[in-house]
Amino acid sequence: MKKILSLLLVCIFLLTACVGLVSCGDGNTDDPTVTTDPHGENPDNGGDEVSNFPLPDDLLEGHTPTDTKYFKFKVVDEEKGTAKISGFYTDIPADVVLPIEVEMNGKKYKITELGDSALAQAAVETVYIPYSVTKMGKYVFSGCPNLTRVSIPTTITKINDGTFANCTDLATVDFIPTSVTSIGERAFEGCKANSITIPDSVKKIGAYAFLDCAYIDTVTIPANITEIPDDCFNGCQYLNNVVLPDTVKSIGKNAFKGCKRMTNFTMGNGVEIIGDSAFADCSNMTKFALTDSVKSIGTLVFDGCRKIKDFRMSANAELTIAEKMFGADTSKYKLANIYCAPGSAAETWCKDNGLGDKVKDLATYAG
């Protein structure tokens, strides 16, 4: 009996010791709830707000910045100890978390910029930009054929010229943070994205910004935009639904040229100027309504829009219209009704350009 009791006591002792070891742990940080924040700040502890772009889990949990050996660097300010990523090496990984700092010649530098063409044509697929970066140069990611996802921190205020030009695998553009106020020229030229979200913070869009983004089907222009620049959406063949806010004052040359599937276009009440060929070759458009704010219409604005049947003219007393607004030959157009205010400049233009028989009283326009 004593032997049995002794044996039981030994078992209890061993069991207690094991439990103690498990509960104490070894002090490591492999606990999945403890992660390394590649931004260098923990938002839960007062850090910067995380970008509104939903990052893939493998870039958020347990990842540290990609080794600096894959990048090239240049000093920006020796005194402040800042540097920029100026290039990369061909063995760069597909999934990249950009480093926060780099050591050069025994001194550490904070990464604050991405230089012009820093990762251009790199075979990267996902890129996470840390909050230390406050400036992105021109054409930073241009020609990256495999790029699908990017996280841009709220420290960035401008998407520079050509930043994502010809990133042919970039299917969705929903990662522009609300800190961005301008999008540069050719910023997304040639991307195959079918969806683009432009935040309300954006006040300016550069020329050619979305040139030849053939698969975009819908775009909403933010209320702060005052100009649709030249060639902005030229060649966006699938673009169909466009709504302009009343803040837009001008539509540039070729702005929506070649939007072959365009059927729904809502013009705001602030547009005053429409540039040459702005809607040329929108070959599926069947109706179009100018608002009375329009004062100037360029040449060939609706050239090639042969399916337009109903057209509402501006009743603005200051309206001027180029001679060939509809192109050189309207005989093949389906134009049936051009709604004009009686005695208006628009009515006079129609009569002077052989379209007097199409004129209808603006009061009968049903929209």
DSSP letter for each residue of 124-168: -SEEE--TT--EE-TTTTTT-TT--EEE--TT--EE-TTTTTT-T
User: What is the distance between the alpha carbons of residues 113 and 40, in angstroms, rounded to a whole number?
Assistant: 15
Task: Kindly state the average pLDDT of the residues 317-340.
Answer: 92
Q: How many domains does the chain divide into?
A: 2
Helix (H, G, I), strand (E, B) or coil at 347: helix
In order of 57, 99, 111, 143, 186, the CA distances from 131 in angstroms are: 18, 10, 9, 24, 25
| 325 is a domain residue | yes
| 211 is a domain residue | no
Q: Which H or E run contains 288?
A: strand 287-289
Q: Which residue has the higher pLDDT, 185 or 47?
A: 185
For the stretch 245-279, pLDDT in tens is 999 999 999 999 999 999 989 999 999 999 999 99
Give the lowest-confidence range in 16-20, 122-126, 213-217. Answer: 16-20
CATH number, domain containing residue 235:
3.80.10.10
Same domain, 256 and 308: yes
Q: What is the CA radius of gyration of the chain?
A: 30
Same domain, 94 and 188: yes
> Is 50 exceeded by the pLDDT of residue 224?
yes
Same domain, 197 and 225: no
Structure tokens, 222: 């933010």
For the stretch 56-96, pLDDT in tens is 343 334 457 999 999 999 999 999 999 999 999 999 999 99
Q: Domain ends where: 204, 237, 261?
A: 204
Domain limits for position 329: 217-367
Q: Which residue has the higher pLDDT, 363 or 323?
A: 363
Helix (H, G, I), strand (E, B) or coil at 107: strand
| 10 is a domain residue | no
Q: Domain ends where: 179, 204, 229?
A: 204
| 222 is a domain residue | yes
* Torsion from C-alpha of 317, 318, 319, 322, nearest 10 degrees: 140
Same domain, 228 and 161: no
Same domain, 223 and 192: no
Choose among 300, 298, 262, 265: nearest CA to 282: 262
Same domain, 243 and 96: no
pLDDT at 27: 32
Phi, psi (5° rounding) for residue 75?
Answer: -70, 135
User: What is the distance between the alpha carbons of residues 300 and 256, in angstroms, rounded to a whole number?
Assistant: 12
Mean pLDDT, the chain, integer? 85
Q: List, in order, residues 6 or more apart from 87 with CB less than 8 Å away.
A: 71, 72, 115, 117, 118
Same domain, 197 and 242: no
Same domain, 221 and 316: yes
Q: Domain ends where: 163, 178, 204?
A: 204
| 324 is a domain residue | yes
| 67 is a domain residue | yes
Same domain, 78 and 122: yes
Same domain, 168 and 242: no
Same domain, 66 and 192: yes
User: What is the distance between the alpha carbons of residues 167 and 165, in angstroms, rounded to a whole number?
Assistant: 6
> Is 60 exceeded by the pLDDT of residue 1?
no
pLDDT at 122: 97
Tell if the pTM clears 0.85, that is, is over it.
Answer: no
| 14 is a domain residue | no
Same domain, 156 and 221: no
pLDDT bracket for residue 38 (50, 70, 90): very low
> Is 80 exceeded by the pLDDT of residue 307?
yes
